[in-house]
Structure 1
Amino acid sequence: MATRKNIYFASDFHLGVPLNDTAYTREKRLVRWLDSIKSDAAELYLIGDIFDFWFEYATVVPKGFIRFLGKLAELTDAGIKITLFKGNHDMWMFGYLKDQLGATIIENELVITRGEKTFYLHHGDGLGPGDRKYKVLKKIFRSRFCQWLFARLHPNLGIGIAQRWSAHSRIASGGKETFQGEDREWLVLYAKELIKKQHYDYFIFGHRHLPLDITLPNGSRYLNLGEWMNYYTYAVFDGEKLELKTWDE
């Protein structure tokens, strides 16, 4: 049996969109990837927007994702630690996945040290300059009052509204993002500002939907994990080096 030492990072699966057969095909592909890492994974970090929409009512959660959630349960039962980050699409994760999977739920950033390397982890939404409209909306949507109000909607209505909203999101269009240059990539600028105050070996983000691996000052690196509608990319740390890879069956 292989030694479980690797740490895996992935994000932006956007499960639930599009609402057709391709969504199931993508979910099955994710399950095969998870199955491929279960023999050597010690930890798995899912860095946000795992679901295109997620809201936990007191007694109801969005239907679907059975194969994916079942595979996560299998990994945790095998002793693999799973950490889930709230993204801008699935920020309304509360206690269900923690209770059912034993997963750790992260609201914003998380700093970890592994193999003498420090990692700064965050989904990436609302960081860096610009995007002021979303930063305001994020505060509203994450407020307890907003969550309480949404919970008053019947699930058929609330989840139906969310699904119609998702149909017009940038990920639903299926298009690929393009690199804007380091001086215009907000998360790169954010990382460069942060390392002026404190050194991190690696910055790992999602949200951008574009796999990127950029060398920063003082030996730091910025990685964006991409997404799983076009790129199927993830990162793995083996205790010594961090690599950005593409899942190729």
Structure 2
Amino acid sequence: MQLPNGKKIYFASDNHLGAPDREKSFPREQKFVKWLDEVKEDAAAIFLLGDLFDFWFEYKTVVPKGFTRTLGKLAEITDSGIPIYYFVGNHDLWMNGYFEEELNIPVFHKPKEFTFNDTTFFIGHGDGLGPGDKGYKRMKKVFTNPFAKWLYRWLHPDLGVRLAQYFSVKNKLISGDDDVKFLGKENEWLVQYSKKKLEDKHRDYFVFGHRHLPMEINLKEQSKYVNLGDWIHYYTYGVFDGEKMELKEYK
């Protein structure tokens, strides 16, 4: 994609709407919707890198209650012709057609490469990538198993959603979330993963979420790892203006 003059690419991740409860989540949702309303004015595309919701599971005819303002704003933006791309995270990896059918938003379950103005981006949520985190990787195989998802759908939505919301908050292994502290650039496993990918092919930017920490780390000359932070503590987002990408804070 070649960006039209004055247009930008926007990136955001890890809103965890619904956590820890509706009352505390609601002001964050309002703030995010306001941000979407502002960036649509010069956006060529918007990338959402997962965990928009603290829990999301699609039954055949039911999706989790709430988030009407967010879903409505996303629909308004795509209806206007601005593409939105969604990468599932570890809290919403059970997406199965709703975003594509209702919101016209492509959903990706694995990292994907994009090129804008001859600048290459490798984009994903970030969970389960790189060394370590073996417990979560085993758990993710269970969660993404078609038979396991089929069994879960037999739970009544009132029970299934409430059960998943409980474990999403209480169980670190299921959530896949580490303590939110910087490990040092040599120990950040998404940095290690990005460096490994560079051995096969050059990319200008590796853009991930999941870690909840805004980070910009040079991997080598002309290649950078960017973590988008979150919309719980930092309210940070990425923006590419056609020449360079940077992190900004929404206030």
Task: Report the TM-score when normalising by structure 2.
Answer: 0.93
How far off is 1:218 after superposition? 3.2
In 1, Cα distance between equivalents of 2:88 and 2:200: 25
Aligned to 1:243: 246
- Where does residue 119 of structure 1 map in the other structure? 121
Map 1:192-203 to 2 at 5 A. Answer: 192-203=195-206
Q: Does structure 2 retain, via aligned residues, the 8 Å contact 1:98–1:105?
A: yes
Whether the 8 Å CA contact 1:176–1:230 is kept in 2: the answer is no
CA distance in 2, matches of 1:242, 1:86: 22
Partners of 2:50 and 2:11 lie apart in 1 by 10
Counterpart-to-counterpart distance in 2, 1:167 and 1:137: 16
- Identify the residue that residue 221 of structure 2 maps to in structure 1: 218
- Partner-residue secondary structure (3-state), 1:184: coil
Q: Partner residue of 2:23?
A: 21
> Over residues 144-181 of structure 1, what are the superposed CA-to-partner deviations in whole Å (9 max), with x where a residue is unaligned?
111101101000110010111133266x9xx9822111
Displacement, 1:243? 1.0
Distance of 2:5 and 2:190 partners within structure 1: 34
Q: What RMSD over aligned residues (CA atoms) do the two structures have, in Å?
A: 1.7
Q: Give matches, 1:173-212, under 5 Å.
A: 177-212=180-215
Q: Please say if 1:88 is aligned against 2:97.
A: no
Q: How many residues align?
A: 244
Question: 1:173-223 CA deviation, whole Å, 9 max, x = no partner?
Answer: xx9822111121000011111101110000000000100000111320000
The amino acid that maps onto 1:117 is T
Partner of 1:135: 137
Q: Which of 59, 62, 84 does residue 61 from structure 2 map onto? A: 59
Identity %: 52
Cα shift readout 1:105-142 (whole Å, capped 9, x = no counterpart)? 00111100001100000100001110011111111111
CA distance in 2, matches of 1:169, 1:110: 29
Q: Distance in 2 between matches of 1:168 and 1:231?
A: 22
Q: Are 2:232 and 1:229 aligned?
A: yes
Q: In the aligned structure 1, how far is the partner of 2:153 from the partner of 2:5?
A: 44
Question: Is there any run of 5+ residues in structure 2 with no aligned partner, and where?
Answer: none
Q: Does the Cα contact within 8 Å between 1:31 and 1:71 map onto a contact in 2?
A: yes
Among 69, 72, 79, the residue aligned to 1:70: 72
- Decide whether the 8 Å contact of 1:176 with 1:210 is kept in 2: no
Which of 5, 8, 14 matches 1:6?
8
* CA distance, structure 2, for counterparts of residue 75 and residue 4 of structure 1: 18
User: Partners in 2 of 1:6 and 1:176 — Cα distance?
Assistant: 32
User: What residue number does 1:33 align with?
Assistant: 35
Q: Is the 8 A contact 1:111 1:118 kept in 2?
A: yes
Partner of 1:42: 44
Counterpart of 2:106? Answer: 104
Deviation of residue 4 (structure 1)?
6.5
Q: Which amino acid aligns with 1:54?
A: W
**TM-score computed with the length of structure 1 as normaliser:** 0.94
Secondary structure of the structure 2 residue equivalent to 1:189: helix
